[in-house]
Amino acid sequence: MNSRGPLGRGARLLIALAGIAALLFVLSACDLGGVHPIFPDPVSANGKNIYDTYVGISLMAIVVFVGVEAALLWVVIRYRRSAQPVGYVPPQVHGHTGLEIAWTIAPLVIVLAIAAYSFAELQKDFQPISNPQMTVIISGHQFGWDYQYENGVVVHQEGSLAAPVVPFVVPTHTLVKLQFRATDVIHSWWVPAVSGKTDAVPGYDNFSWLKIDQTGQWRGECAELCGAGHASMQIIVQAMDQPEFDAWMAKQKPAPSPSASPSPSK
Amino acid sequence: MATTTLPRPKAYDDTFFKPISLWLTTTDHKLIGIMYMVTSLISFVIGGIFALIIRLQLSQPNLRIVDAETYNQLISAHGVTMIFFFVTIFVTGIANYMVPIMIGARDMAFPRVNLLGFWLIPVSIILYYCGFLTGGGLNAGWTGYAPLTEKAFQGHSLGVDFWAMSIIVWAISGIMASTNFLTTIVALRAPGMRFSRLPLFVWAQISTSILLLIVGAPLAAAMILVEFDRQLGTQFFTTAGRPVLYQHLFWFFGHPEVYVMILPAFGLISEIVPVFARKPIFGYMSMVAALFGIVFLSMTVWAHHMFTVGMNTYVEGFFMLMTMLIAVPTGIKFFNWIATMWWGSIDFTVPIKFVFGFLATFLIGGITGIYLASVPVDTQLHQSYFVVAHLHYVLFGGSVFAILAGIYYWFPKITGRLLNRRLGEWNFWTVFIGFNGTFLIMHTLGLEGMPRRIWTYSNEAWAATNMIITISSFLIAISILLFLINVIHSWTQGEIAGNDPWQGNTLEWATTSPPPPYNFERVPPVRSFMPVRDLREAGELAEHEPVPA
């Protein structure tokens, strides 16, 4: 072994730390003591497909991450001066066209594959749907959400930091179209267990959908900074089986018509 | 051999401590560069203090260290300060100092424009902070999305107006600097310094300047329209107008701005790696081509910040594809850096450690960028703590690590003294561990549903992760403190560096440390993109040695 000065010690520490980081990254594919490296279990079909896309990208990402970090580690271990013979003069290489073409094409192939995969998912789950079994107009305001059902019932989910907010109730096994509006500033409706977020923007309607096949309650929050009460704009989605949903609906008071939320249609 | 020594102005000695009148009136690119860098480091400290207050507030659920309105002003000020007043200003400053020397010029092409461009920066910074004197600073995040910035939602505070004016002044300064850099590099290169022999740091500055020249004006335009809405009653971005138009204008600047901050960092890495590996850069031409590939692509990706506003899926697909394609030129640079070090003989000094810190962490930022570019996945990750982690991996793990590498590398040239090595090692390891401790697990908060920009939270499941992040963030603060102590101490007490402490490749190592006002008595001959190394190997360096004043 070569004599190791402070350089060698530093290099060894670097190797050890990079190794730990790589290990953590690989381990993070598993569940680490309450730290979840992946979305909550998806309960809606579109959320499930996003989840699968995330996993698909991760497979390629882990390969790239491990490969490149390993190359860096190898450079640290093998090509540091203390690991080279005394008086070693590195070869004066200025480039290699074949190699440079290879590492232009390899990332290109990887990103084209990821883009194609993502685009297929985009076409599947992010198109406006034409066959909803139910439509709910979700209107964001400072600071809360109003959910207007087709029969005129409006659930007011006023923001709160401490207390749980009033849940937005949907029936299970039902394709629900969500139509987003905003009456003041931009908000963003996000319940990670259901699906990705959709912005509620003043001036036009934005769309998403959900179809939940199990009963339960899931939490979400407003994801677009909308003022001092932004953090209080909690969301709770509750899915009930059809009979319970009907009973719940019967207890709601229909809103005075026309609906309270001004609808600035295009 | 007979060498006549040019007379040196009395005000210039080899220390930094020059009369204040000289600092205030100088058109010397080196002094202006130093003022840029010092200004930016002051901003770094201020922005860092904001970050620590933010982290304290988030360390546990339901804390009330600051209230919601103050918190929103803090996150806005942190973002604006770090992006506009620290990183961009620092890279402008170091380029201001180094580009003319590296191309063998005496000064920038327009020294007085340089002077004006620099002094607009303190004006811009002061304008921004004046907002706090008028009832509250900007409180809509550094992006300042409309219509939250409109009068109807802002009360009597003028913070948004001061922010808009500050950014307009900043953009004008950036356009001046960019024009100046491009003219300097085109017109003032030394004999023999062909474009194909420009150091890669200079190429990076060309690409950065082109980018800022193109996107600076749309930013100023967006700010002017915000002001029209607020002060003249127009309806561009109001609730009755088209708020999404603001996002298009802002991100047409905002995404290329990321590259304004990272391309000079790429240039720094490309300078430091060959010097310490004792090998020429691998694939010089593909490195240059990759820079311009990034410049082009970066202007076609802005709407990937807007995948949740409800665009046509084909439009989203286009922006997704262009965004992912940026991985290709970035990958070329990455592999070329690794190939440069392959078979090398790497001297593990502090600058190269920061280079490895940069490579190891920027890679993670690049990979998480692919997740964010994928439209379906982005609808989950957008505006969550995953994005916050990602952007710090590219901005801190990327730009700031490269900036620190650059400071350790060029401090001896600028001050004539080396930074203390032991403190430098401590600085590197503490910031590397603190940085990853802060931002690696932050990704999981976003995946679990914690949105960014919330001032507090009630979800107990996020408490432990947030506490670890807060503790790690203080390790970063300690590390930066060590760095500042090192800079201040070594400035007067450091080991004398000599002209060429690292056996460098580029022209700045052929002059004194610090260089005289005119940079070179005689510009050495330039026969490749590593002119000083050529001279050293030919045994001719000594006859081009500058004569001490």
- What are the residue ranges spanned by the domains of chain B? 26-544
pLDDT at B547: 54
Q: A200 in a domain, yes or no?
A: yes
CA dist B204 and B263 (Å) reads 6
pLDDT digits (tens, 9 = 90+) for B199-258: 999 999 999 999 999 999 999 999 999 999 999 999 999 999 999 999 999 999 999 999
CB contact under 8 A, B328 and A125: no
CATH number, domain at A143?
2.60.40.420
Cβ neighbours of residue B150 closer than 8 Å, sequence gap 6 or more: B229, B230, B237, B238, B239
Distances (CA, A) of B55 to A3, A177, B82, B474: 44, 38, 16, 9
Burial A16-32 (b: 16+ CB within 10 A, else e): eebeebbeebeebeeee
pLDDT digits (tens, 9 = 90+) for A96-140: 999 999 999 999 999 999 999 999 988 888 887 888 999 999 999
pLDDT at A16: 65
Is the domain of A225 the same as that of A200? yes
Residue with the two structure tokens 């530093």: A10
Q: A52 in a domain, yes or no?
A: yes
Residue A210 confidence (pLDDT) above 80: yes
pLDDT at B135: 84
> pTM for the full model?
0.92
ipTM (interface predicted TM):
0.90
CA dist B404 and B435 (Å) reads 14
pLDDT at B33: 96
Chain B contact for A227 (CB, 8 A cutoff)? yes
Q: A51 in a domain, yes or no?
A: yes
pLDDT digits (tens, 9 = 90+) for B99-122: 999 999 999 999 999 999 999 999
Residue B82 confidence (pLDDT) above 70: yes
Q: A266 in a domain, yes or no?
A: no
Q: For residue B342, give the nearest of A36, A50, A79 by CB distance.
A: A79
**Could you tell me which of B394, B404, B393 has the C-alpha nearest to residue B436?**
B393
Q: How confident is residue B62, by pLDDT bands cut at 50, 70 and 90?
A: very high
Name the phi and psi angles at A209, rounded to 5. -155, 165
Cβ neighbours of residue B139 closer than 8 Å, sequence gap 6 or more: A228, B69, B72, B73, B76, B154, B157, B159
> Is A265 exposed, middle or buried, given 0-12, 13-18 or 19+ CB atoms closer than 10 A?
exposed
Q: What is the mean pLDDT of chain B?
A: 93
**Could you tell me which of A126, A265, A228 has the C-alpha nearest to residue B312?**
A126
Is the domain of A147 the same as that of A63? no
A106: chain B residues, CB-CB within 8 Å:
331
pLDDT at A38: 79
pLDDT digits (tens, 9 = 90+) for A241-254: 999 999 999 998 76
Q: How confident is residue B549, by pLDDT bands cut at 50, 70 and 90?
A: very low
Mean pLDDT of all residues in B259-285 = 96
Q: A259 in a domain, yes or no?
A: no
> Is A59 exposed, middle or buried, given 0-12, 13-18 or 19+ CB atoms closer than 10 A?
exposed
Mean pLDDT of all residues in B29-49 = 96
Chain B contact for A61 (CB, 8 A cutoff)? yes
Give the rounded distance of the alpha carbon of A203 from its chain centre: 26
Q: For residue A162, give the nearest of B278, B364, B458 by CB distance.
A: B458
Picking from B379, B440, B455, B465 by the largest number of A CB atoms within 10 A of its own CB, the best residue to mutate is B379
Is the domain of A115 the same as that of A139? no
Is the domain of A241 the same as that of A206? yes
Q: Does domain B26-544 have CATH number 3.10.310.30?
A: no
Q: Which two tokens stand for residue B465?
A: 């992760």
Q: For chain A, how many residues are written?
A: 266
CA dist A25 and B324 (Å) reads 22
For the CA atoms of chain A, what is the radius of gyration? 26
A71: chain B residues, CB-CB within 8 Å:
338
Residue B2 confidence (pLDDT) above 60: no
Region class of B104: left (phi > 0), else alpha (psi between -120 and 50), else beta:
left
B69: chain A residues, CB-CB within 8 Å:
228
Query: How many CB pairs below 8 A link A and B?
Result: 294
Distances (CA, A) of A252 to A159, A210, A219, B103, B304: 20, 22, 22, 76, 41
- What type of residue is A103? W
CA dist B15 and B416 (Å) reads 8
Q: Which ranges of B131-158 would DSSP assign to H, the alpha helix?
A: none
pLDDT digits (tens, 9 = 90+) for B325-350: 999 999 999 999 999 999 999 999 99
CA dist A211 and A172 (Å) reads 7
Q: Which domain holds residue A11?
A: 6-84+96-125
Contact B509, B524 (CB under 8 A): no
Shortest alpha-carbon distance between residue A152 and chain B (Å): 25
pLDDT at A71: 94
CATH number, domain at A27?
1.10.287.90
Is the domain of A119 the same as that of A138? no
Chain B contact for A108 (CB, 8 A cutoff)? yes
| B88-102 helix and B243-277 helix, angle to the nearest 10 degrees | 40
Name the domain count of chain A: 2
Is the domain of A121 the same as that of A146? no
Residue B14 confidence (pLDDT) above 70: no
Q: A179 in a domain, yes or no?
A: yes
Chain B contact for A152 (CB, 8 A cutoff)? no
- Whether the upstream peptide bond of residue A258 has omega within 30° of 0, thus cis, is yes
Q: Which two tokens stand for residue A136?
A: 């709910």
Q: Which ranges of B326-441 would DSSP assign to H, the alpha helix?
A: 327-341, 350-373, 375-381, 385-394, 401-415, 421-439
Chain B contact for A261 (CB, 8 A cutoff)? no
CA dist B490 and A12 (Å) reads 27
Picking from B348, B428, B530 by the largest number of A CB atoms within 10 A of its own CB, the best residue to mutate is B348
> Which chain B residue has its CA at the smallest distance from A41's CA?
B448
A49: chain B residues, CB-CB within 8 Å:
376
Is the domain of A66 the same as that of A39? yes
Contact B442, B469 (CB under 8 A): yes
Shortest alpha-carbon distance between residue A127 and chain B (Å): 7
**Could you tell me which of B61, B249, B448, B97 has the C-alpha nearest to residue A231?**
B61
